[in-house]
Amino acid sequence: DGGITQSPKYLFRKEGQNVTLSCEQNLNHDAMYWYRQDPGQGLRLIYYSQIVNDFQKGDIAEGYSVSREKKESFPLTVTSAQKNPTAFYLCASGLTDTQYFGPGTRLTVL
Amino acid sequence: AQKITQTQPGMFVQEKEAVTLDCTYDTSDPSYGLFWYKQPSSGEMIFLIYQGSYDQQNATEGRYSLNFQKARKSANLVISASQLGDSAMYFCAMKHRGSSASKIIFGSGTRLSIRP
């Protein structure tokens, strides 16, 4: 089946540790995105990539890093520089007019 | 600057009734796209409907329709014959169309609860 997968579903991290969230899509979409959602809030854009080996910062990129070595994959690393990383993280991929989302990863910092 | 406003944090509706979720937007760009997404308790964002700023007719997808009033910068979602499974968060979103940076901005959402 075509779709977007994110792993893991739940992730726990100790303060000071980097952690990487996986996002894979088999929809043959060029563009991929990472969003952060805090409780009771909408989504905020962290990073996005329009094409392989290229990506741009979104509205809240500080403390995060990404790579786009393959069309299918867009991993997000939450670094120790991110002061408040506990949140729900959603990955999306899309065509010109629509974005489709994965099931999300819930990250908790202990 | 582009902005999406959803003024209803929560709504309760009786099953089988129609419901309208409000969304207003602000942009100075002539070309843009408007979306509605549904987010059930599982967390996944489900695409519902899309309206382009130059589309002459209101978008419809099954029980969902988008009441697009361009002059008022309004893009309300109408759900006909609501069902218990419609209970979820609903987000209105806007994309700046035509730029190399296809970013979407989201409103704060409306929590819809359907009563049996």
Are the CB atoms for A93 and A31 separated by under 8 Å? yes
Q: For residue B114, with 0-12 CB atoms within 10 Å meaning exposed, 13-18 middle and 19 or more buried, which class applies? A: buried
B51 vs A contacts (CB less than 8 Å): none
What's residue B22's pLDDT? 98
pLDDT tens per residue across span A45-84: 999 998 999 999 998 999 999 999 999 999 999 998 888 9
Res B67: pLDDT: 96
Q: How far is A32 from chain B (nearest CA, A)?
A: 10
What does the pLDDT look like over B60-105, one tens digit per residue? 999 999 999 999 999 999 999 999 999 999 999 998 755 555 678 8
Tell me if B44 and A48 make a contact (CB, 8 A cut-off). no
* Average pLDDT score over residue span A11-35: 93
Nearest-angstrom CA–CA distance, B91 and B23 = 9
Burial letters A31-65, b for 16+ CB under 10 A, else e: bbbbbbbeeeebbbbbbbbeeeeebeebeebeebb
Residue A25 in this model has a pLDDT that exceeds 70 = yes
Angle at B39 between CA B35 and CA B43, to 5 degrees: 135
Tokens of B77: 């979602």
Distance, CA of B18 to CA of B82 (rounded, Å): 6
Closest-CA distance of chain A to residue B37, Å:
10
What per-residue confidence (pLDDT) applies to B56?
Answer: 87
- In this prediction, residues A15-44 reach a mean pLDDT of 92
Which of A43, A100, A103 is the closest to B106 by Cβ? A43
Mean pLDDT within B15-25 = 97
Burial-class residue B81 by CB neighbours within 10 Å (0-12, 13-18, 19+): exposed
* Count of Cβ atoms closer than 10 Å to residue B23 Cβ: 28
d(CA A70, CA B70): 40
Residue B31's pLDDT band, with cuts at 50, 70 and 90, is confident
Report whether B22 contacts B75 (CB < 8 A). no
Percentage of chain A modeled with pLDDT above 70: 97
Residue B30 has pLDDT above 90, yes or no: no
The residue of chain A with its CA nearest to that of B109 is A42
Residue among B47, B107, B108 whose CB faces A100 most closely:
B47
